[in-house]
Amino acid sequence: MATPPPPLRRATMLLVAILVGVIASTASADLVITRADRRVSAVDLTSHIVRVLASLKVRCSALFLCFHFVQVENVGPDPVSQVLISFPNIQAKNLAAIRAFGTEGKVKGQSTVLPIEVVQPSGAPPELTFFSALLPKPLEKGKILHLDVLTVFTHSLQPFPEEITQAEAQLVVYQDSAHYLSPYPVKSQSLTIRLPGGRVESYTRHPSAKLVDSELKYGASEDLPPFSYLPVIVHFENNNPFAVAKEVIREIEISHWGNVQITEHYTITHGGAKLKGEFSRIDYQSRPYVRGVSSFRNLIARLPPRAHSIYYRDEIGNISTSHLWSDSKKTQLEIEPRFPLFGGWQTTFTVGYGLQLQDFVFYSDGKRFLNITFGSPMEEILIEKLIVRVVLPEGSKDIEVSAPFPTKQWQEVKYSHLDIVGRPVVVLEKPDVIPEHNLYFQVYYKFNNISLLQEPLMLITGFFLLFVACIVYMRTDMSISKSSPSYLAKLQWDEVQATVQKIQGLFEQCLAVHDKLEASLRDLSRTGDIQSCKAARKAADAQFKELSKELKPLLTYLQSSPQSYQIWPKVEELITKEREMQEKLMTRHSTVVDSFEKKLRGQDIENRIALQQQKIAALRQEVESLLEYISEI
């Protein structure tokens, strides 16, 4: 529908689903269809999918849906195990789904789903495609089988005219046969087409045709021979959104850390009548339902409950027009493309969301399996090509797929976050996917939980090695030439630094001794114990001597080293200052002790040492700032 076919191929647009009940393998005449009611639902032509239910039912839209309700009676002698259903080829190629439910006997009982396969009976006309519904048990003579067949056709509503302006409503044409096309004689049959309401431009006049409200009925016709065909055409207004996805790529990525991430890429077109001439925003905005009635501006997606981290964007960024409702049963996402879609316009976007792992991945018989719906969560959308890619975690084995309908399958490898061997990808491809295909499918695989730790461990190892490399680099001597001047200079510089540090340590010890002396003086002033004070003095003297002895070799080394030219003057200064300070301290100490011995008053002592004290404090500060300076080099 996205590219409307030329007008004359209207016959191909016709979507019909027919169910024929045929008894027996050979004698097709043995089966008689006692009643065939087809309901072509154009209400479900809400979309463009035609659904036909033939008790026979048919539902249709650019998808149509037909329901066929068929009653089949075996009039022949032999039991019959299959029923043939036939369509003209032009319809059959638009057939997206067919499903049959059978009930035996007059009374409505338990209906069973019948398996369906394509057959080509000998002698059948080549213009027809036959499907055979296999009965669970053969139909005995005289027994009646109720058969409900649901067929869904795509591309069966053709816009006519093919180009309309913004203000016009969209008209579509639907073709079908008023008679039930069947290889069996039909005793009684009818065709009901439910239209979406609105204008009906025309329909094939027929004696039995009746248009009541929005329901068009042909029949009931009686006693039709096999393969009777009476074409009918309905031309009516249908403004339902003809959303056709040219291609949908659905990627389901399983992470055993607890998430199933789904990413869906859509390429959507409006498959209805093409827009002709201007698009005027003022008309669209002031009267959106009149001017722009054939366009659609939003799509609804029903996501599973507890979907999270939902995003909606396209290749140029986030699309801000979307709404989200969620409750415990479902998550409903209403998305608006960037612009309203008129006939022939198209757009692309991506929808992504995360699901809880435990809701979709299960474990049985030593195998895990993913159980998730196949189709897209969008409502009423026809997907011309659906590619489902199931990305299993790295290290999955023994992959099997079970899908409820035939698909093209193959496997790929995808490299994602820090993969080494890549993740196995199961790809399923199916053309013409409709909401009826939204069935669960399963992917079975084996996966060991240990593999989960592979990537974190890899990262840990990587960083560990990096740090080890750093440490090794810092600790090893990488210089190429061990005799080059710069290398030697560096070695010397290191030694100088070590020496300077040692010297610093010594000086700090000196200062500590000074402090001890001070403390002894304070004790003296408190207790008046001259003896202990003298002892302290003696100890200090000894320590000073020891320290200066230690200092000497270091200083000589420093002096001789060529690298220390920057530091040496400072160190020298430090030494002289410290000497001076030491002397002053000693003299003060002796003065104080002396005065205590002479029992002078505290005030006098203060006066005597005041000057010295000042000097000492100043010196001490200088020494300390020098030490700090040196330590900063």
Partner 1 sequence: MAEPEASSAAANGGGRLRNAFGGVLSAFTLLLIGVLAFSIRLFSVIKYESVIHEFDPYFNFRVTQFLSKNGIYEFWNWFDDRTWYPLGRVIGGTVYPGLTLTAGTIWWLLNSLNIPLSVETVCVFTAPIFSAYASWATYLLTKEAKGTGAGLMAAAILAMVPSYISRSVAGSYDNEAVAIFALIFTFYLYVKTLNTGSLFYATLNALSYFYMVCSWGGYTFIINLIPMHVLLCIVTGRYSSRLYIAYAPLVILGTLLAALVPVVGFNAVMTSEHFASFLVFIILHVVALVYYIKGLLTPRLFKVAMTLVISVGLAVCFAVVAVLVALVASSPTKGWSGRSLSLLDPTYASKYIPIIASVSEHQPPTWPSYFMDINVLAFLIPAGIISCFLPLSDASSFMVLYLVTAVYFSGVMVRLMLVLAPAACILSGIALSEVFGVLTRSLKFQLSKLFDDSSSAVPASGDSSSESSTNSTKSENRNEKSETAPKEKPSKKNRKKEKEMAESVPVKPNKKEKRLLVLPFELSVMGILLLIVLGGFYVVHCVWAAAEAYSAPSIVLTSRSRDGLHVFDDFREAYAWLSHNTDVDDKVASWWDYGYQTTAMANRTVIVDNNTWNNTHIATVGTAMSSPEKAAWEIFNSLDVKYVLVVFGGLVGYPSDDINKFLWMVRIGGGVFPHIKEPDYLRDGQYRVDAQATPTMLNCLMYKLCYYRFVETDGKGFDRVRGYEIGKKHFKLTHFEEVFTTHHWMVRIYKLKPQKNRVRGKLKKLKSGAKSSSTLAAGRKNPWQ
Closest to partner 1 by CB, 71 vs 564, is: 564
Total residues at interface with partner 1 (CB under 8 A): 60
Closest to partner 1 by CB, 348 vs 587, is: 348
Q: What character string, x for contact with partner 1 (CB under 8 A) and - otherwise, covers 259-298?
A: ------------------xxxxxx--xx------------
Among 38-46, 176-184, 426-434, 518-526, the segment contacting partner 1 (CB under 8 A): 518-526
Closest to partner 1 by CB, 397 vs 522, is: 522
Q: Specify the pairing of strand 299-303 against strand 331-335.
A: antiparallel
Is residue 26 involved in binding partner 1 (CB under 8 A)? no
Among 12-20, 87-95, 129-137, 606-614, the segment contacting partner 1 (CB under 8 A): 606-614
Bridge partner list, 458: none
Q: Return the closest-CA partner of residue 42 out of 54, 53, 33, 51.
A: 51
Q: Specify the pairing of strand 163-164 against strand 200-203.
A: unpaired
Binder to partner 1 among 113, 418, 460, 488 (CB under 8 A)? 418
Q: Measuring CA to CA, how many Å separate 355 from each of 368, 453, 603?
A: 17, 22, 88
Closest to partner 1 by CB, 223 vs 546, is: 546
Name the residue type at position 33: I
Is residue 505 involved in binding partner 1 (CB under 8 A)? yes
- State which of positions 208-267 bind partner 1 (CB under 8 A): none
Report in angstroms how near the CB of residue 235 gets to partner 1 at its nearest: 28
Q: Return the closest-CA partner of residue 52 out of 69, 63, 67, 62.
A: 67
Q: How many whole angstroms separate alpha carbon 34 and alpha carbon 180?
A: 12
Is residue 618 involved in binding partner 1 (CB under 8 A)? yes
Report in angstroms how near the CB of residue 277 gets to partner 1 at its nearest: 7
Q: How many whole angstroms separate alpha carbon 159 and alpha carbon 244?
A: 14
Report in angstroms how near the CB of residue 546 gets to partner 1 at its nearest: 7
Torsion angle of C-alpha atoms 451, 457, 459, 464, degrees rounded to 10: -160
Closest to partner 1 by CB, 215 vs 594, is: 594
Report in angstroms how near the CB of residue 255 gets to partner 1 at its nearest: 14
**Euclidean distance between the first and final Cα of the chain, in Å?**
83
Is residue 413 involved in binding partner 1 (CB under 8 A)? no
Closest to partner 1 by CB, 319 vs 388, is: 319
Closest to partner 1 by CB, 195 vs 392, is: 392
Among 114-122, 378-386, 555-563, 615-623, the segment contacting partner 1 (CB under 8 A): 615-623
Q: Residue 487, Cβ neighbours under 10 Å: how many?
A: 14
Binder to partner 1 among 164, 262, 319, 381 (CB under 8 A)? 319
Is residue 606 involved in binding partner 1 (CB under 8 A)? yes
Report in angstroms how near the CB of residue 620 gets to partner 1 at its nearest: 7
Report in angstroms how near the CB of residue 526 gets to partner 1 at its nearest: 6
Binder to partner 1 among 508, 572, 583, 597 (CB under 8 A)? 508
Report in angstroms how near the CB of residue 424 gets to partner 1 at its nearest: 15
Closest to partner 1 by CB, 157 vs 506, is: 506
Kindly tell me the sign of the dihedral angle through the C-alpha atoms of 181, 182, 187, 192: negative
Contact between residue 170 and residue 75 where contact means Cβ atoms under 8 Å apart: no
Q: Measuring CA to CA, how many Å separate 410 from each of 247, 426, 498, 589?
A: 18, 6, 70, 98
Q: What character string, x for contact with partner 1 (CB under 8 A) and - otherwise, covers 140-169?
A: ------------------------------
CA of residue 287 relative to chain centroid, distance: 38
Indicate the angle between helix axes 568-597 and 602-632, nearest 10 degrees.
Answer: 160
Is residue 122 involved in binding partner 1 (CB under 8 A)? no
Is residue 522 involved in binding partner 1 (CB under 8 A)? yes
Closest to partner 1 by CB, 326 vs 346, is: 346
- State which of positions 344-403 bind partner 1 (CB under 8 A): 344-348
Binder to partner 1 among 263, 504, 548, 591 (CB under 8 A)? 504
Cβ-proximal residues to 496 (8 Å cutoff; 6+ apart), any chain:
558, 561, 563, 564, 567
Report in angstroms how near the CB of residue 166 gets to partner 1 at its nearest: 10
Q: What is the SS3 assignment for 445-485? A: EECCHHHHHHHHHHHHHHHHHHHHHHHHHHHCCCCCCCCCH
Is residue 316 involved in binding partner 1 (CB under 8 A)? yes
Q: Measuring CA to CA, how many Å separate 619 from each of 85, 403, 518, 575, 576?
A: 115, 93, 15, 11, 10
Q: How many whole angstroms separate alpha carbon 192 and alpha carbon 173?
A: 16
**Residue the block writes with tokens 């390429």:** 267
Q: What is the SS3 assignment for 602-618? A: HHHHHHHHHHHHHHHHH
Report in angstroms how near the CB of residue 630 gets to partner 1 at its nearest: 11
Bridge partner list, 357: none
Binder to partner 1 among 526, 560, 562, 566 (CB under 8 A)? 526
The helix/strand/coil state of 100 is strand
Report in angstroms how near the CB of residue 345 gets to partner 1 at its nearest: 5
Bridge partner list, 368: 363, 445
Report in angstroms how near the CB of residue 218 gets to partner 1 at its nearest: 41
- State which of positions 528-547 bind partner 1 (CB under 8 A): 543, 546-547
Is residue 475 involved in binding partner 1 (CB under 8 A)? no
Closest to partner 1 by CB, 515 vs 529, is: 515
Closest to partner 1 by CB, 215 vs 314, is: 314
Measured in degrees and rounded to the nearest 5, phi and psi for residue 287 equal -135, 70
Query: Within the chain, what is the greatest distance between any pair of CA atoms?
Result: 151
Applying CB under 8 A, the residues found at the interface with partner 1 are: 277-282, 285-286, 314, 316-321, 338-339, 344-348, 415-420, 501-502, 504-506, 508-509, 511-512, 514-515, 518, 522, 525-526, 543, 546-547, 602-603, 606, 613-614, 616-618, 620-622, 624-625, 631
